[in-house]
Amino acid sequence: MAGPLTGVTVLDLSRILSGPYASQLLADMGAAVIKIERPGGSGDEMRAYGPPFLKDQQNNDTTESAFYMSANRNKQAICVDISTGRGQEIIRGLATKSDVFLENFKVGDLRRYGLDYASIAEINPRVIYCSITGFGQTGPFASQPGQDLMIQALSGVMSLTGEDGGHPLRVGMAYGDVMAGMTAAYAIIGALYHRDARGGVGQWIDISILDSTVTSLSHRAMAYLQSGDQPERLGNRTAAAFPAQDFDCADGKIILQASQDEHFRRFCSAIGRESWAEDKRYQRRRDRFRNRREIVGTIQEILLTKTMQEWLTIFGEAKVMCAPINDLQHAFDHPQVKHRQLVVEVPHQLAGTARILRNPVRMSATPLDQYAAPPLMGEHTDRILSERLGMEAEAIEDLRRAGVVA
């Protein structure tokens, strides 16, 4: 069944994570994504960003890193040297037939190749041209390079992450890059709707990793803007809510969330402290949070009397939110994760098969249920040039001999 973006073509000159993550989301929805990489070397730098690497059928490392595999499913790949005139003509030719042009080069970098927004819009006024950079197209830092680690530091994310009194910590994955990729995909879909459903025009979308990360701070940012106070690092606790944190059991830790008033009443009953639910100090969420230190020690003592599984069973029956702190093995083994089929197995030229993540979106009329492995370098070069630009095999081979394509 066709996806919701079937018929949309995305020309993707991005690499590393933020751009490829955005185009992957569009590809999942049925868009035809053409991934452009440099001939020679490893192409997209993230192909070589390992270990770990995908294993072949003899259990040897392939050229495909887990990092690359995470952001490039459902795409077609072609290698084009955009520093050459003939390579630039190929990109322009593909751009005239594309709905979206996606790039994450430095500000102004594509102008020297005639592939900037103004140049592409001149040959395709309907194009949705999306640029992702560390700091955006304007401002005092616009020309500076910016990647996830430094953006997490600059944005304030690290100031909120870690234990109270401990060192600031980065989120344990490329949080800023993923946020920027999601923001870019959301913006592109909005621009396509404006153009196609509302009679609008093509436009240039300016996505900043810093912007995306700062605005993702959401309620923690609003707490600061309203109070002027720097929010403290909470570790596994939740701001303005109690109980909502980790506790030790007899054989390990669990996360417990019973901060809503009705949830707290059920929690009190489950641990044999019904009187707390009637105590004015704990009846309302805000009062309970202010007076949390009076009972947190007692809660911890009670939870130490049983194992994790015993408490998970008790709280499950009481409909109190509670979970073990899983590592990835246990997370992917969880029955709900398995039921939702968040991991899919797809054919792969080098590995035979490869396990990849699926898109989390569930749509009844246009299900996102078609998955292809991230492509090898230049896997679809001949197909793209012949089908989209009408090139004959001899002309493609001439370009290959000249190093323009691979």
In order of their start, the domains of the chain are 9-217+339-401 (3.40.50.10540), 244-326 (3.30.1540.10)
pLDDT number for residue 240: 85
Would you state the structure tokens that stand for residue 197, as one six-digit string? Answer: 């459903």
Q: How confident is the model at residue 41 (pLDDT cuts 50, 70, 90)?
A: confident
Q: Answer for the pair 159, 130: CB distance below 8 angstroms, yes or no.
A: no
Element (H or E) spanning 90, and its range? helix 85-96
Mean pLDDT of the chain: 96
pLDDT digits (tens, 9 = 90+) for 168-220: 999 999 999 999 999 999 999 999 999 999 999 999 999 999 999 999 999 99
pLDDT digits (tens, 9 = 90+) for 52-93: 999 999 999 999 999 999 999 999 999 999 999 999 999 999
Q: Is 229 a catalytic residue?
A: no
- Beta strands 128-133 and 100-103 are parallel
Q: What angle do CA 40, 45, 50 make, to 5 degrees?
A: 115
Across 136-160, average pLDDT: 96
pLDDT digits (tens, 9 = 90+) for 325-343: 999 999 999 999 999 999 9
pLDDT number for residue 1: 73
Q: Return the DSSP state at 2.
A: -
Cα–Cα distance measured from residue 139 to residue 9, given in angstroms and rounded to the nearest whole number: 31
Give alpha helix (H) positions in 248-294. Answer: 261-270, 274-278, 285-290
Share of the chain above pLDDT 70, in %: 100
pLDDT above 90: residue 144 = yes
Q: Out of 230-244, 256-270, 272-286, 327-341, which region has the weakest mean confidence (pLDDT)?
A: 230-244
- Beta strands 75-79 and 32-37 are parallel
pLDDT above 80: residue 35 = yes
pTM of the model: 0.95
- Active-site residue among 99, 177, 279, 287? 177
Residues 222-259 as b/e (b if ≥16 CB within 10 A, e otherwise) read ebbeeeeeebebbeebeeebbbbbebebeeeebbbbbb
Share of the chain above pLDDT 90, in %: 97
Name the amino acid, one letter, at 17.
L
Cα–Cα distance measured from residue 342 to residue 335, given in angstroms and rounded to the nearest whole number: 11
Query: Any long-range contacts for 345-348 (C-beta under 8 Å, 24+ apart)?
Result: 346/73, 346/371, 346/372, 346/373, 347/373, 348/54, 348/373
pLDDT number for residue 34: 98
